[in-house]
Amino acid sequence: MFLKPTADFATNRVPASAWIARWTHLVAPNAHVLDVACGAGRHLAWFAERGHLVTGIDREFAATPDLLDRFTLVCSDLESEPWPLLSDGVPDQFGAVVVTNYLWRPLMPTLVRSLLPGGIFLYETFASGNETVGRPTRPEYLLRPGELLQVCQELHVIAYEHGYLENPSRFVQRIAAIRTTEKDPSQLHTARHLL
């Protein structure tokens, strides 16, 4: 089900994740960005304000109309319904796929396949160790050491971190990785992705 927003993203919104903000410059100008499990829409607004076409997907939304013509919302329960963004049985592709504070392992291959050549995968969520400082605590909601690196094997990893952050206390794992457009894998080492 495709929706238009019903609440104001610009008012009292939580700022973009520092990880997402740090690597936004890798997203091609005017790229179509997919925000998975977008919640209240902080990253939808972040990318729309930077001129990107944005699509958010989640099972429910708390959003409003200030960016009405700049994004699309897809209402879907990602854990019990089929992936809704398909064309002829193949996942639609985006210039960037963004995921924060969400983990559903069966969806990971679809997310990677949803990247256009040259598209960036920005992912950040809770990791093992978080059970010692707060929620979530269950292993099915915590990335294992190196798990995002395994998910991104076919991508070119620009940055990866797994560790502890303060304020609030949490263990996270995060990655910025690009679907290469290079036909010759030896050329990956000379590609310039500003850090």
pLDDT of residue 5: 42
Residue 2's pLDDT band (cuts 50, 70, 90) = very low
Higher pLDDT among residues 4 and 142, named by residue? 142
68 pLDDT exceeds 80?
Answer: no
CA distance 37 to 41: 9
Beta strands at 94-100 and 115-126: parallel, antiparallel or unpaired: parallel
Q: What is the pTM of this model?
A: 0.87
The full set of domains in the chain, from first to last, is 2-190 (3.40.50.150)
Tens of pLDDT, residue by residue over 122-170, are 999 999 999 999 999 999 999 999 999 999 999 999 999 999 999 889 9
**Given a cut of 80, is residue 91 above it in pLDDT?**
yes
| Six token digits for residue 95 | 């210039």
Give the three-state DSSP class for 157. strand
Q: What is the pLDDT of residues 170-181, one digit of tens each?
A: 999 999 999 987
